[in-house]
Every structure is written in structure tokens, then in C-alpha cells.
Chains A and B, each alone.
Chain A
């Protein structure tokens, strides 16, 4: 009796092992700090509810490092199934020949998928000719943060932040006069903010429909609009209002420690800033240039790309995971844990319904900004460039030179544009369009 039992048990184990042969999906990402925790808990939830699939997330460094490693791995045939690539890497990924566009996945498995459920500006950003190539995951945009306490101290209404750049200048002067701060405003990611201004006012940043209908061959940021923007910032710097804050997030420190009263920064910094600051934080839309058309704020962050060379089993598993990420509860979980936009409309509605935004109005600002902007023009959708990483560095250098006074805005932008165009030319040659 015992022996039969033993054999049966063994058989069961063997069969179950065989039947539940798990598909392993490796996912390389660049989410560090608190975001890493949220990634892991979402993945754990997926793995628990999807027996037969094991997603293995791996933090592979910064966005740049992750991309470099992906390329190296792909060339040895050891690429992960899924990789997170920053938004500036979009064109490179499209031209890589190493990925399967996401829109082809449901077709592969005979499924119908409603792409309209994703937030339109985000969807547009990662689409080519109306088809979605990478799955939106962590998207943010930029907005204006301001220190309500300092505003009050300076005799300004803490609930009336500036809405135009002219008002920024006015408010800035008052803040300086009152002596509460030595400088008023700074930005994070200066190059990105420069691009934001273009899209926000429906101005093209590069030709060929912002690089969306064909590879861009010429940048347009050194034309009248771009020069006007940089002129304004330079003037604000000379007045002591604008303080150049360095690349990426380095300007946050000055804002958190109360040394400046306003900060233009990624929406993903909101949670961190609220936590670290000891004053009341207010948020508002990006300041506009009055008299110019309106567009939309640009998507930043990263998206998920599906590598080629996987078995059909693996692709199915990847697709299940991507669908999971688009579920309302998961999108909400991601937003609440990191501050990035939830990727689907249903999540936005649910958040509104549960009163999430009334608990902290600041979380609503980014949404309102992006959902109220245009979504039908290439200019508002944001620019797509091959050598985007380098070009963004050129933008930053131009801003630095103009703001520090070593070059006039027009000269700085012209110099940057000339170098950028050369890069675009080389890129086109190498990709062999």
C-alpha cells in the first residue's frame, strides 16, 4: 500500500513539474530607490496570480547603462525578454531591429486589445504611424512647484501661483524685494524643460513632424520661438530671479531647503519633495508664454520594449504581464507608490472617484495639465530624435552658456543646432534609412 502511495506521489510530482513548467521572463529596468520596492511588489503579485509564469525583474543601473547592457546582451543572444528604455532612446529602439512592436502582440495570439484605454498623450508618444511600439510604464511630465510659505511671507497669495512667464517675472521681483529668498526659480532637466516649452506652445522642435513621420534631419529650436524662450530665461537670470540648477534633479535641493521659492521639475519628484520639505508645497501648470498657441506638456520617463528572439511561449507570458500592468488596480498601485502617471484612463477615473486627489491636490495638477492639452499635433506629442541623448546635452550646454552670459541665446542655440544637425545626419547615415 505504502509503495503504491509513494509511486503515485512521485508520479504526481513529476507530472505537476511538467505541467507547471514555468516560463521565466527576465525584465531589465532602471527603477531605483523607492520605485524598486513598488516594482518588486507588483511583480510578486503577478507571479502569485499567474502560476506558470515567473517574471524576474533586475535592476541594471541607470537608463543609459540599462540600454547599453541590453545592446550588448542582444548581440550575444542573451537579451532579457523585456527591457525598460528611457524616452530619449525611443528612436534608437525603433531603428534597432531588435524588438517586436507591442501592437503586434495581441494579433499574434488572436486577441483584440483596446489601445484607447491608455492615456492618449502617452500612447501617442510611443506610437509610430498610429501603432504602439512600446508599452507605457513610467511616464511623467513637468510642472511648477512652489513654496506656499515663502509666498505668504513675501505678501503674495499662496493660492495664486504665476501662470505666465510675465507673471513669473513679476512674482519673482516681489519675492526678491521682500528678501525671503536670494533667487526665485530653478529647473531640473533644463534641456527637457526647453523641449517642454516648445510642445507646450505647439511649436515643432525638429522637422519631419518632430521626427515622427520620418527621421528628423534638422532641429528647429534655434528659430524665433526657441530664442525667445532662452532670451526670457537669460533675462530672468540676470535679474537674479532664475538660478541655474544643474542637470537632472540637482535643483531639488535648493527648493527643499527653502533657498528658492519655485521649481520646475518632473512630476515624479512630487512625493519625494513633499516628504523632504518642511513647508507647504503648492503645484501648478507650467508657466505659459502669453500670446503663443497652446499645445501640451511632453511625456518623460520610460517605456517597456519586447525583445526579438523569444519563443512564442515567452512572448505570450510577456504579453500577459503587459496586460497585467495595464489593469486599473495595478496602474493605481504604481501611481500611488511612485508618482508616475497611471497608464490607463480607468485608473484616473477610479482615483478621482475614491477622492485620492482631494487628499492631496498636488497629485492632480499633472493630470489636469496633460489631459487638458492638445493631443492631435506632432508638436504637442513631443520630438523624436535618433541621437537624442547627445542633443539633449547640447541643449543643456546652450542653456548654460546663455544663462551664464558667455554667449547670447541666439548664438548658443545656433551652435547647438549646428552640432545637432550634424549628429542627425550621421545617425541617418549609420542607420541607413
Chain B
């Protein structure tokens, strides 16, 4: 390390080299003198120190390493949970197939019993069936015709029992 007498004898304005600066930054006794020779050294006197973070270097390094471990754990977890492009396609295709299948099954289930519903709905409306099987005349030797009692309306209800009766009647 440079001695103070050498420093004071050799310091010139604007020519502080690394050795001069090192002396300036570590010698409080020469600070005033240096300022009077070269005021630009005012702020330069601050540099060069080994500045240690609060708590010391060991604690600092420990903190950094623990943060790195947490970061790594988070990253690996995120990686495990992240899906690649082809996986996304596979998931989308599976979901689409599932939805389509479920829709078809639903339709099938709800389409099959439809006649039952229609029949069930038709039951309380005998007038609808009456319009379909409107018989004006019928003659057969084997038929048994039962005439229902008239309730006062124009329509006469008749029950025909005949093995040869056409199916569409």
C-alpha cells in the first residue's frame, strides 16, 4: 500500500491512477488533501470498497440459493403440469369424442321412447283417433258391431270386432 507522503507528493489534478485511487479510498487522513488538489476526486473517494450486504455474505448467498431452489421447484412443477402441443391435441380430440358420444347417446335415449310419449299423449284425446278411423259404412258377415250409446252429439261411436278387418282401419 502506498504511503501518505508518496501520495501527497505525487497527486496531480486529473491523473489519479489505480494505486492513487486505492490509497485515497482507504486513507481518511489524505481525503482533505486530495479534495484540495483535485475536487473531482470528491465522489471518486467512495469507490473501491468491498461493500457487503446487510447480514453478511454467507447469509446473502444462503438466501440466493434458497430462492434458486424454490424457483427450481416451481419451474419443475410447472413443467410437470404443462402440456405439450400434441398432448393438447390429444386432450381436445378426447373431449370432442366424449361430447359427440354423449350427445349421440342422449339423442338415442330420448328419441327411442318417442312413440310411447305420443301414444301416452294421445290417450286422453280419443277425438284424434276417432278422426283417423272414421267409418261411414261397413258390412261383413263375420263382424260383431257394437254400437255405443249416443251422448247426444252427431257422432256415433261404433266398435267393430272382425278378424278380417283391415289393419289401417
**A and B pair up:** no
